[in-house]
Amino acid sequence: MSAEPSSNPPTARILIVDDQPSNVRVLGTMLGQLGYEIITAADGPTALKRLSLRPPDLVLLDLLMPGMDGFEVCRRIRELPAFADLPVIFLSAADEKSLIVRALDCGGMDFVTKPFNQAELLRRVQTHLALKAARDRLRQLAEDKDELLGILAHDLKNALGSVLMSSQLLAARTEGDSRVHQLSTNIVEATDRTLAFVRQFLANAAAERSLAIERKTVSPRSLVMDVIEQHQASARRKNLRLVFLPAADPAGTPVVRTDGAIVRQVLENLLSNAVKFSPPGRTIEVSVSTSAESVDFRIKDEGPGFTAEDKERMFQRYKRLSARPTGGEPSTGLGLSITRKLVGLLGGTLECESSPGTGAAFVVRLPL
């Protein structure tokens, strides 16, 4: 039975892998007449080479071939990240259930027995190509959405930074007028909270994308001092002391090669949490030290600390812990999850030392 071509000729590329030339000829002729671009391979190694040189949209794969069989070819295809979702339809004269299950287990998406009905095979090909096109479209839409949100978030971050700076200046110059001073202080606090949300969104987007690491020579001490200065205003509003503890080593803290932007975001998240959960009048200590193997950042607060249950949940997304912000600040439940992901991108570790009522110390250890 022959298949009728569709009104919209397909342009997909199909790789046919079969050691029998007659099978390749029949399949190639049938699909080629419908407008599909056909590439062929008579064995597994050749198929894998074709895959890299001319990536197909779908693979028709013979199950039983000499040398590398279809199972192994499919497994190797699935090991390649670019082809994790590539539709693979197995073709075989054997129809034992165990073979079909094994074919699906190794990554096949469908199984057609020989001799095949042309109309049935074509319908399966069209279905899997349509599903692939839908997946590709959804992936592209998601990437476009993330890019757009990233642009908007960056622009919003810059705008909020300007509003925050202006409102801080206004608050400083209106201390004699209690009402105006209070209103300007409200603007400072609201802008500061919103800016923190935007920074957290950007950090989460970066962690989800597994962004490329840009290692440059940076000063850990300078990073820490910059982040402390950034949080001084919010700390003063809660009567908190931010203290930097210099390294005990007389040589100080040398420069290191790492991604300074990611490290800065990690420190911002941890110090923001320390300020958020510390009761008024307490002290937050920040220190940095280096060894032959690592650079260690430590942020210690005098807050309520964490329970054993908190420690099990603290790095999970959207998990609220037993402690609550002491100044009514909002909390998304994402901060520590994002922070651990960012540290992981640098190959480091994030640990928490705490027990209820004793405060908490977060230690970021990054390999050198």
**CA 165, CA 261: separation in Å to the nearest integer?**
21
**CA 200, CA 269: separation in Å to the nearest integer?**
8
Q: What is the pLDDT of residue 206?
A: 63
Q: How many residues does the chain have?
A: 368
Q: Are 288 and 357 in contact, with CB atoms under 8 Å apart? A: no
Question: 261, 269, 257, 289: which is closest to 340 by C-alpha?
Answer: 269
Q: What is the pLDDT of residue 8?
A: 42
**CA 67, CA 61: separation in Å to the nearest integer?**
14
Q: For the domain with range 211-368, which CATH number is right: 1.50.40.10, 3.30.565.10, 3.40.50.720, 3.40.50.300?
A: 3.30.565.10
Q: What is the pLDDT of residue 317?
A: 67
DSSP β-ladder status, 110-113 and 88-92: parallel
**CA 203, CA 199: separation in Å to the nearest integer?**
6
Per-residue pLDDT of the chain (368 residues; tens, 9 = 90+): 444 444 444 589 999 999 999 999 999 999 999 999 999 999 999 999 999 899 999 999 999 899 999 999 999 999 998 898 999 999 988 878 888 899 999 999 999 988 888 899 999 999 999 999 999 888 888 777 766 666 666 667 777 777 777 777 877 777 777 777 777 777 877 777 677 767 666 666 666 665 667 888 989 999 999 999 988 888 888 899 999 987 665 555 678 888 888 898 899 889 988 988 889 999 999 999 888 888 999 999 988 888 888 787 877 766 666 667 776 665 555 578 888 888 988 899 999 888 787 888 999 999 87
**CA 53, CA 46: separation in Å to the nearest integer?**
11
Question: 47, 50, 43, 46: which is closest to 68 by C-alpha?
Answer: 43
**CA 341, CA 345: separation in Å to the nearest integer?**
6
**CA 35, CA 13: separation in Å to the nearest integer?**
9
Beta-carbon contacts of 34 under 8 Å, excluding residues fewer than 6 positions away, are 3, 5, 6, 9, 10, 122
Beta strands in 45-174 (DSSP E): 58-62, 88-92, 110-113
In the chain, domain spans: 13-116, 139-209, 211-368
Question: 59, 67, 12: which is closest to 40 by C-alpha?
Answer: 59
Q: Are 31 and 125 in contact, with CB atoms under 8 Å apart? A: yes
Q: What is the pLDDT of residue 83?
A: 92
* Neighbouring C-alpha atoms within 13 Å toward the C-beta of 118: 14
Q: What is the pLDDT of residue 5?
A: 44
- C-alpha 264: how far from chain center: 18
**CA 33, CA 10: separation in Å to the nearest integer?**
10
Domain spanning 13-116, CATH class:
alpha beta
- What is the Cα Rg of the chain in Å? 29
What are the CA-CA distances from residue 163 to residues 17, 194, 279 (Å)? 62, 11, 27
How many Å from the N-terminal Cα to the C-terminal Cα in the chain? 66
Question: 290, 292, 297: which is closest to 268 by C-alpha?
Answer: 297
Q: What is the pLDDT of residue 116?
A: 83
